[in-house]
Structure 1
Amino acid sequence: MEDRFAGIREFVATVDGGSLTAAANLLGVTGSAVGKSISRLEARLGVQLLHRTTRRMDLTTEGEAYLVSCRRVLEELAQTESFLSTGHQHPIGRLRVDLPTTFGRRHVIPTLLALCTRHEKLDMSVTLRDRAVDMVGEGIDLAVRIGALDAYPDLVARRLGEQTLVICASPDYLARRGTPLTHADLYRHDCLVGWRPGNRPMWLLKNAQGQTEPHEVPMRHEFFDGDALESACLAGCGLAQLPTWLAGDALRRGALVEVLSDITGGAMPIHVVWQKTWHLQPKVRVTVDELVRMAADSPEAFNRGRM
């Protein structure tokens, strides 16, 4: 009977070690044995996983995709074996996390770092991106998402809180340019927006029926990074529509002033999302629990008073 797992450890060890020799030393076999195992694996799959020359070894496109699945299988196996042998589920292994850029930097990464300090066998690979990713295809174990979620049968989500948007400006800017009172007043002001490829500058505003929808605004400056957008607003460069988790502290200090509160909108849920599996790995479970606790302990950042 064909062993579908044959060659997987050799393949992963070779990629991690960078050579057949390194993989052989790690696995306690010969380099030729490793090479034969990978060749048999490629023959069974019907694709080439590695480009091998006398000087280097590189993953093929198929190899990169297969490596993601192989790592996940080996990590889940290690987690299950640890549970069976100890009777306890301790978070071990590498957790791949994807976060919104500014929100993740400000409100999530400190919690992840503290979690890793408490669990010495838990390792993190964290990416910061303001776009949706294919969690399964890219091997992401856990993500934090702001906004409505599409229904994916292979993903599980838990709500952490809510993001709301406010339009604000510095007192200095308002003293120079006046306070806008209506939607039409925006066209006499400098508007600061977050950069999005291929999109027109939009803010979420309420229409005459009280429904929130995107409205184009006259853009003066645009910024890819949320921290930079807030800094420009604080410097008196114009009006900005900012989430309360970003502008809240400045609003409380009076460094920023909210305007047009009757027409601004844009309440969006904040979720932690992870892949659905038959056995929830301890590293995922512990991290989800910690993020839920973090959200409960940070009601201002997660706007939990409105939930």
Structure 2
Amino acid sequence: MRKTDHLGGITAFVTTAQCGSFTAAAERLGLTKSAVAKSVGRLEARLGLQLFQRSTRRLSLTPDGERYLQSSQNAIEILEQAEAELMSHTAKPSGRLRVDLPAAFGRQRIMPHLLAVIRQYPELEMTITFSERFIDPIEEGIDLVVRIGELTDSSGLIARRLTTQKLVICAAPEYLAQYGELHEPEELSQHRCVVGVRRNQPKFWILRNARGEVSRYTPPATYEFADGDAMLAGVLAGCGLSQLPLWLVGKYLASGELKEVLTGHSGGEMPVSALWPKSRQLLPKIRFVVDTLIKAAEDGQLD
């Protein structure tokens, strides 16, 4: 018997088990009921096992059938993933893609690239949301997530590092004129600080000394804002000190609207990663967008 006949029998068996009858399986496969039943019968004869318990009223799996169904479904899933992987290199991205981004970084650094993808592929539909919390993409039905920070739990997810944010502690000159310059990290406790607020996430700044040793410091949470744009606005208004990414504050440091402090303890970094569920890793729409973001990162467009 040819191997293709074996595969046909497995397909007929799995479909019958899923549908609960030869009649329903025949309709799904576009075959006759007799053809499906004979194909399953030949599979049982080849295995020397009875996969279905047949009666006039119902069709049910035997214990051997239950075990074989699980193995067969796993094998079919592997074949489908292999086919999807091959197709993903040639297929155009299409369908609905749900993306969740951090607010400030997402709007300023990621959105331009997503908009370029949308213009290039009109068959791709996007739902883009913004949040700072570490959501579960699988639970919330999100296809692709971009997050800033160390990944504490990425089980069930594929993670790809895109870039690294360089962090600086800064303040408005007006604030420093009123409250004084800083020389050591210990002095931070005497200052007003603007920090990001995330549900169930610790608030800390990353410090690096002259020897390159990294430590975490928990600043006074005088003002808590939900995203980088709001934190930047607070610092520009003279509310206090904050540790912010260089891409966000660079132009304000250059113009003198902000001033870096504790330069001997700067150099903190925070990873930026793209995450997506393992079960969706081979979808062309996800692969294409991730590849686009990786290329942007390599070209320095996410820094």
Range class of TM-score, shorter chain: 0.5 to 0.7
TM-score, normalization: structure 2? 0.65
SS at 1:149's partner residue? coil
- The match for 1:149 is 151
- The match for 1:3 is 18
2:291 maps to which of 263, 281, 289: 289
- The match for 2:220 is 218
Q: Whole-Å Cα distance in 1 between the matches of residues 108 and 180 of structure 2?
A: 32
Q: Whole-Å Cα distance in 2 between the matches of residues 218 and 279 of structure 1?
A: 41
Q: Whole-Å Cα distance in 2 between the matches of residues 148 and 139 of structure 1?
A: 22
- The match for 1:123 is 125
Shift in CA distance, 148/193, structure 1 to aligned 2, threshold 3 Å: closer
Report the CA distance between 1:241 and its aligned residue: 1.0
* Aligned amino acid, residue 161 of structure 2: R
Q: Does 2:165 correspond to 1:163?
A: yes
Report the CA distance between 1:199 and its aligned residue: 6.3
- Residues 31-55 of structure 1: CA distance to partner in whole angstroms, max 9, x if unpaired? xxxxxxxxxxxxxxxxxxxxxxxxx
2:234 maps to which of 203, 225, 232: 232
Contact residue 143 and residue 280 of structure 2 kept, 8 A: no
* Aligned amino acid, residue 18 of structure 2: D
What aligned pairs does 1:59-70 form with structure 2 within 5 A after superposition?
none
Q: Whole-Å Cα distance in 2 between the matches of residues 241 and 5 of structure 1?
A: 60
Contact residue 143 and residue 277 of structure 2 kept, 8 A: yes
SS at 1:219's partner residue? coil
- Residues 229-266 of structure 1: CA distance to partner in whole angstroms, max 9, x if unpaired? 10111122211111122212222222211110222453
Contact residue 202 and residue 215 of structure 1 kept, 8 A: yes
Q: Does 2:96 correspond to 1:94?
A: yes
Report the CA distance between 1:127 and its aligned residue: 2.0
SS at 2:243's partner residue? strand
- The match for 2:12 is none
- The match for 2:265 is 263
* Aligned amino acid, residue 179 of structure 1: E
| Identity among equivalent pairs (%) | 43
Shift in CA distance, 171/152, structure 1 to aligned 2, threshold 3 Å: closer
TM-score, normalization: structure 1? 0.65
Structure 1: gaps spanning 5 or more residues: 8-72, 303-307
Report the CA distance between 1:184 and its aligned residue: 2.6
* Aligned amino acid, residue 91 of structure 2: Q
Q: How many residues align?
A: 230
- Residues 43-91 of structure 1: CA distance to partner in whole angstroms, max 9, x if unpaired? xxxxxxxxxxxxxxxxxxxxxxxxxxxxxx9xx99x96xx59xx94011
Report the CA distance between 1:208 and its aligned residue: 9.9
Structure 2: gaps spanning 5 or more residues: 1-15, 25-76
Shift in CA distance, 208/110, structure 1 to aligned 2, threshold 3 Å: closer
SS at 2:17's partner residue? coil
Q: Whole-Å Cα distance in 2 between the matches of residues 289 and 100 of structure 1?
A: 19
